[in-house]
Amino acid sequence: MNILYEDNHILVVEKPINILVQKDNTKDLDLLTMLKNYLKEKYKKPGNVYLGLVHRLDRVVGGVMVFAKTSKAADRLSKQVANHDFKKTYYAVLCGRLKNNGHLENYLIKDEKTNTSFVKNEGKLAILDYEVLKIINEFTLVKINLKTGRHHQIRVQFSHIGYPLFGDARYNKNYHVKEQIALFAKCLSFNHPISKELMEFSLDLPNRYPFTLFK
């Protein structure tokens, strides 16, 4: 595991792709359990280890995440998320040549049976801003400032406007087997839950196609 930062209150890590953040009914190994085991071994802690989950990433998406090591830190970070003071910046490669920066607002509804979200005239409001960074061939690299954290939000909203993410098995009709989704949680910033200091973390883009086209 790539540990980016750790103190008595928070743990910042790089989430690997194709790893669950939290256990589900597949019973596959998840990041939360892995990190609890890491803390248990590092500090020789008996019994259960507390680690608070304050935000999530889809299983297929990698990038920077923060976890809370105390309930007080978890509560304060969760309030920052609710107040939109918790800044998450994603990079994605879209299929198509999207030429202008933009702002997307849609209402999303989640189908629990299929674990799929749809744009509707009702549901939960989903908001994001995006900046076009570069266009190569028929691909566009965008920087996304996520304002809300809805289920599959980025994937659904860009698919809805006709620019699905490369490698998105669920929302890109031209997906090919074995493609990895080109979505990455590159940057994260928040105020430290105890010291109030502004904390900022950033990762390099993955060294895999199609991100390598833009390096």
Over residues 131-173, the pLDDT tens digits come to 999 999 999 999 999 999 899 999 999 999 999 999 999 999 9
To the nearest whole number, what is the mean pLDDT of the chain?
95
With pLDDT > 70 as the criterion, what percentage of the chain qualifies? 100
> How does residue 1 score in pLDDT terms, banded at 50, 70 and 90?
confident
Catalytic residue chosen out of the listed positions 24, 28, 30, 58: 58
- Check residue 22 and report its DSSP letter: S
CATH of the domain at 53: 3.30.2350.10
pLDDT over 90 (residue 108)? yes
Residue 58 annotated to the active site: yes
Number of domains in the chain: 1
> CA 212, CA 52: separation in Å to the nearest integer?
34
Looking at residue 26, what is its pLDDT? 83
Mean pLDDT value of segment 122-136 = 97
> How does residue 24 score in pLDDT terms, banded at 50, 70 and 90?
confident
Name the residue range of residue 182's domain.
2-214
With pLDDT > 90 as the criterion, what percentage of the chain qualifies? 91
Looking at residue 112, what is its pLDDT? 92
> CA 4, CA 11: separation in Å to the nearest integer?
8
> How does residue 88 score in pLDDT terms, banded at 50, 70 and 90?
very high
Q: Any bridge partners for residue 126, and if so which?
A: 106
Q: Any bridge partners for residue 92, and if so which?
A: 142, 183
pTM of structure: 0.93
Looking at residue 45, what is its pLDDT? 87
What spatial distance separates the first Cα and last Cα of the chain, rounded to whole Å? 24
Region of residue 114 (phi > 0: left; psi between -120 and 50: alpha; otherwise: beta): alpha
> How does residue 190 score in pLDDT terms, banded at 50, 70 and 90?
very high
Mean pLDDT value of segment 88-116 = 96
